Amino acid sequence: MKRVLRLITMAAAWLALLANVSLPDGRLLPFLAIPKGFAGPLSPFLALIGLKGTLLALWRRDWLSLAAGLSALLLARRHIQNVTAPHEEFTFAFGPDWQKRIPPHLQWRLRAKRYDLRPLPTPTPPTSPDTIIGCHQETGEPLLADIWQPPSGTPHTGIGIIYLHGSGWHYMDKDFQGTTRPLFHYLACQGHVIADVAYTLAPKATIIPMIADVKRAIAWMKTNAADLGLNPDRVVLMGGSAGAHLALLAAYTPNHAILDPADIGGADTAVHGVISYYGITDMVSGHERLCHISPTPALLAPRVEWLLQRGGWIAGDGCYVQAPQMIPFALGGLPDEDPDMYQLASPLTQVGPHCPPTLLINGAHDVGPDIGQHRQLQAALYRHHVPCAHVELADADHAFDLIAPRWSPAAQAALYDVERFLGLLV
């Protein structure tokens, strides 16, 4: 019993420690990133394990387990406090009276706390999976989306959200393993309409066809606004990681001569707002950042590819791409080979007074996009008097919102900000 108690409390303490530290670059990064990715979202359970371990250790007078249990409890509690800490970003972006600008009929539906262990009981919203919203002109295949509607009896806010999943521009799909369903469920129950779009991935497409799919989704949502119960002038783009990059780029390039596809017939592709979960904003520095991630050894790469295919991360015609190759493969070359494409594909270079209000959310410990990119984007938007709230979640890592989102302190804190940002756009 003593060995088991020590093993459990020491493992909990190690994971709780990982939740609080920033991982160093190097060969250990891939091996530590996965346990750290789970440690933060599961920190409430680590705190509970630490508490129970501490009480058992006191009863059995096992001082090593006592130290480990207390460490797990205190470190997990510290992580929860850090990632759910309040901030003043909305005051800076929208003024001191921003909360009064959220319609009263919507305010009562908002979360009262940045974090609450109790899942909120909500009705199940209706969904229409695999709805055809266009066509991938590059492949001839239908462009699909899952449509989430507010439940019966829930008033529509008029907002339509187009969500673009994380992918590294090469992986995954809409509704990947259900990781985004809690988010869509919650937002639909607030009266928003969501389209979870399966945009084309590399190697089938490069950035321009990917953005074309986003523009097609915008045109479709505006054309079908009356049937969906939304305001065509209240379309909001939202995404995570590579999907966030595409959301930002599409939002900042409305009615663009190169990026708007001809098949939408000149439809207006301007949007009302954009939300980025840890998206890259500058492709050159983003590529440099990814180059710091050590490549998988050649002997292990085939095995990793097989595991990703079995797990549904890679489509049958896809392949495993090392981190330093992700952006060059998606843009068609290295930065010095095609600098114009890197500039075109960088949301930071597209900033101007035409940009819509923006919410940037990222973790301070993100191993992917550099947090400095988001600060630069916010500063650029402010220079053009575009409202932008940049929320930095201390200790949070990449994809913090996709692991145990119902329990994750970081995911709940981010959702608290997302729902208020959307409330300001109603």
Q: 10 Å Cβ neighbour count for 189?
A: 19
Average pLDDT over residues 246-259: 97
For position 313, what pLDDT does the model report?
79
Find, among 57, 75, 277, 28, the residue nearest to 167 by Cα: 277
Confidence of residue 26 (pLDDT cuts 50, 70, 90): low
Measured CA to CA, the distance from residue 304 to residue 293 in angstroms comes to: 16
Q: Would you state the pLDDT for residue 17?
A: 95
Inform me whether the pLDDT recorded for 29 exceeds 80. Answer: no
- In angstroms, the CA 291 to CA 268 distance is 37
pLDDT in tens, 73-112: 999 999 999 999 999 999 999 999 999 999 998 998 899 9
Q: Which domains does the chain have, with CATH numbers?
A: 2-83 (no CATH), 89-425 (3.40.50.1820)
Q: What is the per-residue pLDDT for 316?
A: 63
Summarize the confidence of residues 195-201 as an average pLDDT: 96
Instruction: Indicate the pLDDT class of residue 27, thresholds 50, 70 and 90.
Output: low
Q: Please report, rounded to a whole number, the percentage of residues in the chain having pLDDT higher than 90.
A: 77
Q: Mean pLDDT lowest for which of 87-101, 290-304, 324-338, 365-379?
A: 290-304
**Other Cβ atoms closer than 10 A to 162:** 28
Q: Report the 10 Å Cβ neighbour count for 384.
A: 12
Lookup: tokens for 357: 């209000």
Band (pLDDT 50/70/90 cuts) for residue 120 is low
DSSP state of 273: E
Side chain identity at residue 393, one-letter code? L
What is the average pLDDT value for the chain, to the nearest integer? 93
If phi > 0 it is left, if psi is from -120 to 50 it is alpha, else beta; for residue 280 that is beta
Average of per-residue pLDDT across 233-242: 97
In the prediction, which pLDDT does 371 show?
85
How far apart, in whole angstroms, are the C-alpha atoms of residue 406 and residue 21? 23
CB 395 within 8 A of CB 363: yes
- State the average pLDDT over residues 26-41: 83
Going by pLDDT thresholds of 50, 70 and 90, the confidence category of residue 308 is confident
Q: Could you give the 3-state DSSP secondary structure of residue 79?
A: helix
Question: Taking 90 as the threshold, does the pLDDT of residue 33 lie above it?
Answer: no
**The predicted structure's pLDDT at residue 131:** 98
Residue 121 pLDDT > 90, yes or no? no
Helix%, strand%, coil% for the chain, nearest 5 = 45, 10, 40
Distance from C-alpha of 275 to C-alpha of 233, rounded to nearest angstrom? 16
Say whether pLDDT at 318 is over 80.
no
